[in-house]
Amino acid sequence: MRIRAQVAMVMNLDKCIGCHTCSVTCKQTWTNREGTEYVWFNNVETKPGIGYPKHYEDQDRWKGGWKLDTKGRLVLRGGGRAKRLSRIFANPDLPAIDDYYEPATFDKDILVNAPAGLKDTPVKQPYSKLTGEPMSIEWGANWEDSLGGDSGKDDPNFRNMVEKVTFEFEKTFMFHLPRICEHCLNPACVSACPSGAMYKREEDGIVLVDQDRCRGWRMCVSACPYKKVYVNHATGKAEKCTLCFPRIEAGQPTICSETCVGRLRYLGILWYDEEAVLAAASVPEEELLDAQRAVFLDPFDPDVQRAAREAGHPEEWIEAAKASPVWKLISEYRIALPLHPEYRTLPMVWYVPPLSPVLDAAGAAGRDDTNADDIFHTIDDLRIPVAYLASLFTAGDTAAAGGVLMKLAAMRAYMRARTLDGTVAQELLDGIGMTGAQVEAMYRLLAIAKYDERYVIPAAHRGQAAALEELGGCSLDGEGGPGMGGGGRVPVTIASRRNP
Amino acid sequence: MSTLVWIVLPYACLAVFVAGHVWRWRHDQFGWTTHTSQLLENRLLRLGSPLFHLGAFGVIGGHAMGLLVPASWTAAAGVSEHTYHLVSVTGGTITGVMLVAGLALLIARRFVSGRIRRVTTTMDRILYAAMAAMVVLGMSGTVVINLLGDGYDYRETLAVWFRGIFWLRPDPALMSDAPLVFQLHAIGGFLFLALWPFTRLVHVWSAPLAYLWRPYVVYRGRRTPAPAAQPAPAAVRKVVTPSS
């Protein structure tokens, strides 16, 4: 066993209202620069929808992630090492800028400087940030917001579903899905990087791009099935979500978590066994979810704690792992699920699937969501939403997805009975195999957990990185960092680039 | 004059080539990249880039064969002059045409696509112009003189002079009677080498062959135990330039 720590995230999708605050604060922090105009390390998409970039989940087209070859060995979907190198001159699996969107800006001066007494109201015209020419905006990172447009029916997740989700207003099933880099245990981007510039940090599992060693081969962009590695077209280097490592090192949550209005994000550490990763990524599809859960080590197990100590992990980390909300949601309550486990990258941002849209559909069907039998039957009957969630979170296993929804529904009904009637709905607890204390703790974590319960980021770094806490700006602005503004050396290749 | 052009210039260019790479490697790792623009334009690149790169491999291989292998060696190996000529002209023409076509497509996309035009740097323009000049001179040597014309046996003259540079015994007399096209191509070649370290061509030296045997997932520890204290927020904020 080789024990490692991973800073992981869980998002409770029931609480996401799709306000995009996470996206905006992330963009202000990391990607408000030339060359990254189209880049959203954090984006919020509406599901069902084709997402950002368009159809990113369609791996037949983009060849992201891993697959098992005919002999059952784990291989990159984009091909082996030699095949990938042979395509280095023109990568056939690279999304074009139009698959994201053409970034635009507006000439607002015209509104301010227009003379008085004009017959027509002055309007601001969008200009392309790529060409500087006037353009019409036809797509964006959240173009499908709240099922806008009709692209949602092309969602790649419908491909394996017999019945299709209807998009009629009164039957709408939708929810928001915030996405960042998954900081996978078996990252395809790292594995596809020809230069070896991408790496997984030994201390906390954060996946980063070494800006000094990236040579712009752009294989990471194709290999990432979540399309969360981006090419900065000004620097010619790959960039990605850093899990706000300067903040994590200082014991602070990521910017997206910190500013989340719905308080739906949880951050904590997990112990995992690095030597078990490859085997867990190589099991048949129907076993993937359980195999991924089995890679995580129980922070309360004395053997695990001893192994962590022997591996040199500080005592604070061992304590933090025990208090980790992520461990609770993934392994103790088992209500968090990984996004597309079938990509076999072992993603480390997990999701509590949304119950509300399911219950809305149940309410429309005239069900009673306080009755245990009715709840469980309702979820059984709601094949379309459950199958859709299964295609997102359980590699198509509707029983696993339905099981999580039943726990969430039972928790609501149990808490309602307890607070309103003062009764204990034992049949609900029996139905989901949890104790009353567990359900109440789960309810507390999901509904009212405070800042320090939602973000348990070990303080071990704090001694070293106390200086970072009052940083104020982006540490990557420094020498060689993607912030680049730092007044240091100016790269030769971009020195003479004409400014728009 | 002949000493200047055929002795001083090559050594000066080689010195710039070496020193330029050392400087660039040590001071500009962040700028050391292919500077890919496939994200912005894919249609022309998909055809042009493989043509260009594969053609360039062939052309570089051909130059190595023609310049570095003495005629006496191939003769000793039993390769007749006629066979050698046939192989070199055919190979040179095919790979040369690939290179020309690829380069033409790559240059065309710099003009055709507004997005690409916008990210083209001055150094890119210089590089494309230099490359186009070299290719035109080289192709006119191969096609006009050696394929269609009377032919010029560069192996007994130009190649001997070229190898002499590395033995520190370059003989300028060998070059003085060469056809003008070959003279210009040789001079241009050395100037091109001097330009190399300051362009995106440095990515050639980062050809990722090590990828073929390294483990898939790379783990790396934080190299520095504690990040250094940063300047006060006011000083940091100053360098953030609003995008236009």
Q: Quick one: pLDDT at residue A152?
A: 85
Nearest CB neighbour to B211, from listed A85, A468, A493: A85
Spatial distance between the Cα atoms of A379 and A401, rounded to a whole number of angstroms: 10
Both tokens assigned to B18: 């070496």
Q: CA dist B3 to B11, B164, B170, Å?
A: 11, 13, 9
List the beta bridge partners of residue A132: none
Spatial distance between the Cα atoms of A123 and B124, rounded to a whole number of angstroms: 37
ipTM of the complex: 0.86
Both tokens assigned to A236: 């010619």
- The range of the structural domain enclosing residue A93 comes to 17-101+140-255+469-498
**Co-location of A211 and A318 in the same domain:** no
Give residue A340's Cα distance to chain centre.
Answer: 11
**Co-location of A218 and A334 in the same domain:** no
Nearest CB neighbour to A467, from listed B24, B30, B229: B229
Using a CB–CB cutoff of 8 Å, tell me whether B1 touches chain A: no
Nearest to A396 by CA among A413, A412, A383: A383
Question: Mutation test of the interface with chain B: which of A7, A215, A499, choosing the one with the most B Cβ atoms within 10 A?
Answer: A215
Q: Quick one: pLDDT at residue A63?
A: 96
**Co-location of A69 and A33 in the same domain:** yes
Cβ distance of B33 and A235 shorter than 8 Å: yes
In angstroms, what separates the C-alpha of B174 from chain A's closest C-alpha? 38
Neighbours of A104 (CB within 10 A): 18
Spatial distance between the Cα atoms of A447 and A415, rounded to a whole number of angstroms: 11
Classify burial at B206, counting beta carbons within 10 Å of its beta carbon; exposed 0-12, middle 13-18, buried 19 or more. buried
Sequence-separated (6 or more) residues with CB below 8 Å from residue A316? A458, A459, A460
* Contacts for B149-152: CB closer than 8 Å, 24+ residues apart: B151/B85, B152/B178, B152/B179, B152/B182
Contact A192, B212 (CB under 8 A): no
Q: Name the domain count of chain A.
A: 2
Three-state SS for B171?
coil
**Co-location of A218 and A283 in the same domain:** no
- For B219, the closest chain A residue by CA position comes to A200
CATH number at residue A153: 3.30.70.20
Spatial distance between the Cα atoms of A221 and B43, rounded to a whole number of angstroms: 18
**Co-location of A305 and A248 in the same domain:** no
Sequence-separated (6 or more) residues with CB below 8 Å from residue A131? B114, B115, B117, B118
- Chain B residues with beta carbon closer than 8 angstroms to that of A213: 29
Q: Is B185 marked within a binding site? A: yes
pLDDT digits (tens, 9 = 90+) for A431-483: 899 999 999 999 999 999 999 999 999 865 444 444 444 444 444 544 444 44
Widest pairwise Cα distance in chain A = 80
Using a CB–CB cutoff of 8 Å, tell me whether A194 touches chain B: yes
**Co-location of A266 and A244 in the same domain:** no
Walking along chain B (244 residues) 10 residues at a time, the average pLDDT comes out as 91 98 96 95 96 97 93 90 88 94 97 93 96 94 83 89 94 91 95 97 95 94 55 45 46
Contact B244, A103 (CB under 8 A): no
Spatial distance between the Cα atoms of A284 and B165, rounded to a whole number of angstroms: 62
**Co-location of A173 and A294 in the same domain:** no
Output the 3-class SS for chain A.
CCEEEEEEEEEEHHHCCCCCHHHHHHHHHHCCCCCCCCCCCCEEEEECCCCCCCCCCCHHHHCCCEEECCCCCEEECCCCHHHHHHCCCCCCCCCCHHHHCCCEEECCHHHHHCCCCCCCCCCCCEEECCCCCECCCCCCCCCCHHHCCCHHHHCHHHHHCCCCCCCCHHHCCCEEEEECCCCCCCCHHHHHCCCCCEEEECCCCCEEECCCCCCCCCHHHHHCCCCCEEEECCCCEEEECCCCHHHHHCCCCCHHHHCCCCCCEEEEEEEEEHHHHHHHHCCCHHHHHHHHHHHEECCCCHHHHHHHHHCCCCHHHHHHHHCCHHHHHHHHCCCCEECCHHHCCCCCEEEECCCHHHHHHHHHCCCCCCCHHHHHHHHHHCHHHHHHHHHHHCCCCHHHHHHHHHHHHHHHHHHHHHHHHCCCCHHHHHHHCCCHHHHHHHHHHHHCCCHHHHECCCHHHHHHHHHHCCCCCCHHHCCCCCCCCCCCCCCHHHHCCCCC
List the beta bridge partners of residue A239: A230
Q: What is the pLDDT along chain A (500 residues), one digit of tens a residue?
A: 899 999 999 999 999 999 999 999 999 999 999 999 999 999 999 999 999 999 999 999 999 999 999 999 999 999 999 999 999 999 999 999 999 999 999 988 888 898 888 898 889 999 999 999 999 999 999 999 988 888 888 899 988 776 666 666 666 788 999 999 999 999 999 999 999 999 999 989 999 999 999 999 999 999 999 999 999 999 999 999 999 999 998 889 999 999 999 999 999 999 999 999 999 999 999 999 999 999 999 999 999 999 999 998 999 999 999 999 999 999 999 999 999 999 999 999 999 999 887 777 666 667 666 666 777 777 777 777 888 999 999 999 999 999 999 999 899 989 999 999 899 989 999 989 999 999 999 999 999 999 999 999 986 544 444 444 444 444 454 444 444 443 444 444 443 344 43
Cβ distance of A492 and B24 shorter than 8 Å: yes
**A8 within some domain:** no
Q: Quick one: pLDDT at residue A478?
A: 44
Cβ distance of B38 and A186 shorter than 8 Å: no
Question: Mutation test of the interface with chain A: which of B218, B224, B238, choosing the one with the most A Cβ atoms within 10 A?
Answer: B218
**Co-location of A167 and A83 in the same domain:** yes
Q: What is the pTM for the complete model shown? A: 0.89
Residue A307's φ and ψ, nearest 5 degrees, are -60, -40
- Chain A residues with beta carbon closer than 8 angstroms to that of B198: 492
The amino acid present at A190, given as its one-letter code, is: V
**Co-location of A41 and A89 in the same domain:** yes
Q: Quick one: pLDDT at residue A270?
A: 97
- Chain A residues with beta carbon closer than 8 angstroms to that of B52: 89
Contact B206, B32 (CB under 8 A): yes
Contact A170, A163 (CB under 8 A): no
Residues 119-148 of B with CB under 8 A from A: 119, 121-123
Both tokens assigned to B194: 């001097």
Residue linked to tokens 């690829």: B102
Question: Mutation test of the interface with chain A: which of B38, B122, B124, B201, choosing the one with the most A Cβ atoms within 10 A?
Answer: B38
Q: Quick one: pLDDT at residue A163?
A: 67
Cβ distance of B118 and A500 shorter than 8 Å: yes
**Co-location of A169 and A81 in the same domain:** yes
Domain ranges of chain B: 2-33+41-205
Q: Is B85 marked within a binding site? A: no
In angstroms, what separates the C-alpha of A489 from chain B's closest C-alpha? 8
Using a CB–CB cutoff of 8 Å, tell me whether A68 touches chain B: no
CATH number at residue A379: 1.10.3650.10
Both tokens assigned to A61: 């087209």
Domain with residues B2-33+41-205, CATH architecture: Up-down Bundle (1.20)
